[in-house]
Amino acid sequence: MPDNIKKTDVLIIGASASGLMCAIEAGKRGRNVIVLDHANKAGKKILMSGGGRCNFTNSDIDASNYISHNEHFCKSALSRYTQWDFIAKVIDYNIPYHERDLGKLFCDDSAKDILNMLLVECTKANVSIHLNSNIEAIIKTDEQSFLIETAEKVYRTKSLVVACGGLSIPKMCASPLGYKIAEQFSHNIFPTSAGLVPFTLQPHDKDKLEVLSGVSVETNVKNSVVEFNKENILFTHRGLSGPAILQISSYWKAGEVIHINLLPSSDVRNLLKLRQRKQPNIKLKTVLNEHLPKRLITVLFKQTLIDKPLQELSKIVIGDIANKLHDWQIKPNGTEGYRTAEVTLGGVDCNELSSKTMESKKVNGLYFIGEVVDVTGWLGGYNFQWAWSSGWCAGQVV
């Protein structure tokens, strides 16, 4: 065995949300902690999150905001380290923040505030972070410890924490290492796929909708299993994006049609009938443009129809218009994939981990936390809360 082996109580792979939280907690308990990351900087995803302002948690966190093959698994961690615990930390560090729609909490200034807070906490807890570390092999030795070989060093640890995230945004240093480690130790892995990701469109829809690039509309969006209400969709030059689309994308199966209510706060049928009585000569487009962007109306309906005065519209035509606006159906061609996905669905099977400690039930001393685990949150700060909560739980015992 090489004599340049560096011994440590805890070795964490991944210096980002879940890994840093785990490191802080373990360090506070007096454990010797080393965090390895192949990136040249810690917390790259934290820095790019929430449009640079990091949606660090949500004021309303519930297990139903998470997707997993085991819907109960996340409950323990989320209740032991809650959003209020993280908010207390943010307040303690005087980080200015605000609440947006649907309970989303963002930094007022910059995501850097969250990362700096975590790094200061790491320093206080004597955590060593080794960046640019390329992991070459992991070996479980007989004496219940792990050897982790990097190009430069070999580390020996009793507790190995896998916090190296999912596959989304390879440019931001995402890699499959976490899944490979799980595989090496015979863990079941649920197939992974891109989540919280924009849709691409079928060629005929793309041609038709491309002119709407930049248009954003508040909608209700649903498929056969879930509905997201009062969130925006955004037409882009590549397809469909915006919070409502990202949310439904995590539940979408290839070939499935998405139902979009483009005017969720009005009853189009009643609205048109009422205006027909009051202003029979007003044009359909004038009325619709009061509620929806002009460009969208022009793409959805024939010019000859929207130029008509309301008095010329039959009950059936009004019904058709209402149906189209309240249940606009679109069959995406696919998603933009890991290149732009915010998260990775699937991952390490929760049933093979302790929900209290995140330790493997198969291999003593091996832990999986954060996104590599088969727990995926909705858009809105839920994914960071999972990273904080699962990292905190492992940090209490490693």
| Cα 56 from Cα 382, distance rounded (Å) | 8
* Contact indicator for 344, 192 with CB cutoff of 8 Å: yes
90 binds ligand FAD (CB under 6 A): no
Residue with Cβ nearer ligand FAD (166 or 239): 166
55 binds ligand FAD (CB under 6 A): yes
- Smallest distance from ligand FAD to CB 133, Å: 6
25 binds ligand FAD (CB under 6 A): no
Residue with Cβ nearer ligand FAD (17 or 245): 17
Residue with Cβ nearer ligand FAD (22 or 287): 22
Task: Tell me the two tokens of residue 24.
Answer: 């802080």
* Contact indicator for 126, 26 with CB cutoff of 8 Å: no
39 binds ligand FAD (CB under 6 A): yes
125 binds ligand FAD (CB under 6 A): no
Map residue 146 onto helix, strand or coil: strand
- How many of the chain's residues bind ligand FAD (CB under 6 A)? 37
Phi, psi of 88 (to 5 degrees): -60, -40
27 binds ligand FAD (CB under 6 A): no
Residues 6+ positions from 286 with CB-CB distance below 8 Å = none
| Cα 115 from Cα 111, distance rounded (Å) | 7
Among 195, 347, 370, 395, the residue binding ligand FAD under the rule CB under 6 A is 370
Residue with Cβ nearer ligand FAD (68 or 261): 68
Biggest alpha carbon–alpha carbon distance for the chain: 90
Determine the interface stretch with ligand FAD among 12-20, 260-268, 270-278, 300-308 (rule: CB under 6 A): 12-20
Among 35, 78, 177, 358, the residue binding ligand FAD under the rule CB under 6 A is 177
- Smallest distance from ligand FAD to CB 58, Å: 8
| Cα 189 from Cα 202, distance rounded (Å) | 31
Residues 6+ positions from 353 with CB-CB distance below 8 Å = 73, 359, 360, 361, 368, 373
* Contact indicator for 67, 251 with CB cutoff of 8 Å: yes
* Contact indicator for 256, 331 with CB cutoff of 8 Å: yes
12 binds ligand FAD (CB under 6 A): no
45 binds ligand FAD (CB under 6 A): yes
Residues in touch with ligand FAD (CB under 6 A): 13-19, 36-39, 44-45, 48-50, 54-55, 135, 163-165, 168-169, 173-175, 177, 342-343, 370-371, 381-384, 387
